[in-house]
Amino acid sequence: MTMPGQGKVATSFIDAMRGMPLVLALCVMNLAMIGFAYYQAASFNSQRKSNVQLVITMQTEVQKLLSQCIVPPPPARPQ
């Protein structure tokens, strides 16, 4: 559903940006920075997820190895 003033607002915004190209460039750069920050956070989270999975797998393997070790009791001291 469109409102009657939407076209006028968009047109006036474009006209204002046409008069100030530096402001338009800053708006574009801000949008690009937001996109880059999102991409960086998404890639960091996926890498962290895989690293956590590797650590959990390694700890599970270590627990299996340690559960198979039998430690003999200490020898009794003669009294």
* pLDDT digits 0-9 by tens, 10-59: 788 778 878 888 888 898 899 999 999 999 999 999 999 999 999 999 99
pLDDT the model gives residue 29: 95
SS3 assignment for 5-70: CHHHHHHHHHHHHHHCHHHHHHHHHHHHHHHHHHHHHHHHHHHHHHHHHHHHHHHHHHHHHHHHCC
Q: Would you say 23 and 17 are in contact if contact means Cβ atoms under 8 Å apart?
A: yes
- Write down the pLDDT at residue 3: 65
Residue count of the chain: 79
